[in-house]
Chains A and B, each alone.
Chain A
Amino acid sequence: MSVEIEITGLGKIFGQGAAAFRALSDINLSIGTGEFFTLLGPSGCGKTTLLRVIAGFESPSMGSLKINGDEVAAKGPNARPVNTVFQNYALFPHMSVAQNIGFGLKMLGKPKAEIDSTVAEMLRLVRMEAMADRKPSEISGGQQQRVALARALAPRPRVLLLDEPLSALDLKLRKEMQSELKRLQGETGITFVFVTHDQEEALTMSDRIAVMSAGRILQCGTPHDIYHAPTDRFVADFIGDTNFLTVPVAALDDQGATVTLPGGAQAAARLPEGMRPVTGEEVTAVIRPEQATLAEPGAGDMDGVVETSTFFGTDTHIHLKLADGQGFVLRRQNTADLAAPDPGSTLGIALGAGTLRILKD
């Protein structure tokens, strides 16, 4: 896979002197051609700023940005082979749907016949043929979203940037548009850079995800890696539900560490690369709620007292209190004849082999 976007040592500082705000720090990123790449993080983490830097609306304060091998950091948005789908679509209200879609091609100076045929093709692609002559104010939010997509795809950019494009849609429409986006990406083969704060959206749609916080990229990897092998406390906390346990290290070996769980039992835990704690040191170990199972009291790795349980249909979240007072959430798959555990009862918790991980602090 060839590299489409190459970002090295990129930073962005807004303002000057005492009021200066570092929106992006030391961003290094390589996005492959045809990849569905997601920038994920809470609001204010810098993901939209990074997208705007790639689009050309903001110029980086330092570092380099290459698209298809060309340094574009000093170029304006109209000189980059990149188009944006804006969060609120930003359709031109004084133009029809067809004029909106054809705008980029018109500005590129394409002949009218080519514009007309591309617009027709785009309208077909987003299934909006019947709405070509409507004004943006005369179509629904979901339809505006499709037009915004078609408008950005029409000039055949090398990269399509999407700034939380689904956040204004209701749940059902959002699900629909998610698969629509994947279909469009497959059909066009264009590199997608997608910004979202919705971890589920990121996990289901992306080839790779970069998790951002406070202007930095904390971890970059496939959805599987990000979910199952978080290297950072923030990533583990932000993606999915996680149990954080503070436990002392009992022993170290070549494969990893052995930690002492609340209640005294010992369990193997994987160590992140480059971390060598000493015996007796307290570390943070994480495990996902669905990676633990219930057992008879005393038969698991540790015991817990049931505090509450919440029914979610497919599964039940059971909140337990461990021997040293730490909380633990366990997710149990439901069947019709399984009753919810009684609050106050003691249950055993079995940790799946190799599921416990130690995090860098």
Chain B
Amino acid sequence: MATPPDSATGPEPDPQKESHGWKWLLSTPALLVLLVAASGPLMIVAVYSFLSPGNVGGVEWDFSGDGWFRVFFSRDIFDPENVSWNWANLNVFWRTISLSLQTTLICAVLGFPTAWFIATRPPERRALWLFLITIPFWTNLLIRTFAIQELLRGNGLINTILVATGIVDEPLQLLFSNFAILLGMAYVFLPLMVLPLYAAMDKLDFRLVEAGYDLYASRVRVLWHVILPLVKPGFVAGSILVFIPSIGAYVTPRVLGGGRTMMLGNLIALQFGQGRNWPLGAALAMVLLIIVMAALVFYLRAVNGEEGKRRG
């Protein structure tokens, strides 16, 4: 028969466990910053979205669902009973999601060969190429965006060359279009796609590529069946990093899209500024938050679901 352990001396003091009592304190500065800078303002925005607009901006402290109502619907000015969809806002939502998806796609298509190029350089040269990728971050976003505006303008560089060489008769309308916004956003967010893709390729075992060739796969099929599945985590991370800031972009669509091709960020700014309807702006901001959260959940579900299936 086994003898029970001698318990006369009592349980050994566990130094790890003991220190747990106060170690959480170490995280308080970070928690405070999050509380003050992230959760706090978010709560304020959430509360504001259910209040009434003040006359010159700000809010009146009485409850109203009008802000949320006006996100999706509009009333006829002369006949308030006549309610219809707010197509202006819904169009902005659609444009925002569509442009963000297109930006993500463009960054993925441009980022893959770029990251591949860097990952296949000799190791001692890769740091230099990665360093070059970060150069755009050296200047202010606004300045870079105005520089693109300068390129695309009616009498800007591109149109001047096109007209001078006789390719077109009169300057093309490049600025203030979806094209201009896409160009600007793809340019700004491309490094956010390249870096995680590079990280994934850096870990790629190139013998697997050789094994693919050896087993009668052509280059295209090695890319499709071996390389792409293995760098997928890089695509997932890069897509999240590009899609989320694209959804909330403000500067790029403001400078390159003008007043007619607004994105959600500009619409929100409009409500807090000229529109003087803070509750509507707050409700729109909450909609933006919901879109981002939905996109993330969708994305993680898609990725994890597949993992689960493969493991199962």
Contacts and interface: CB of A to CB of B under 8 A. Distances in A.
Interface residues of B, number: 19
Interface residues of A, number: 24
Given A93-B230, A107-B221, A135-B310, A86 B213 contact: no
B215 interface: yes
Interface in A64-117: 76-78, 82-84, 86, 88, 90-94, 103-104, 107-108
Nearest to B207: A90
Q: Which of B208, B212, B215, B221 has its CB near the most chain A CB atoms (within 10 A)?
A: B215
B216 interface: yes
B207 to A, nearest CB: 4
Contacts of A91: 211
Interface in A43-67: 55-57
A155 interface: yes
Interface of B: 205, 207-208, 210-218, 221, 225-226, 229-230, 310-311
Contacts of A83: 214-215
Given A90-B205, A93-B208, A107-B215, 13 more contacts: A77-B210, A77-B213, A92-B212, A103-B212, A103-B215, A103-B225, A107-B216, A107-B217, A108-B216, A151-B215, A152-B214, A152-B215, A155-B215
Interface centre among A56, A86, A88, A103 (most CB of B within 10 A): A103
Contacts of B218: 78, 107
Contacts of B208: 90, 92-93
Nearest to A103: B215
A86 B230 contact: no
Main secondary structure of the interface of B (DSSP, over half): helix
A108 B221 CA distance: 11
Contacts of A135: 310-311
Contacts of A78: 213-218
Contacts of A86: 207, 210-211
Nearest to B230: A94
B207 A88 contact: yes
A195 to B, nearest CB: 15
Nearest to A84: B214
Interface string A138-175: 00000000000001100100000000000000000000
Contacts of B215: 78, 83, 103-104, 107, 151-152, 155
A45 B226 CA distance: 31
B307 to A, nearest CB: 11
Nearest to A55: B214
Contact of A155 (B216, B225, B226): B216
Contacts of B229: 94
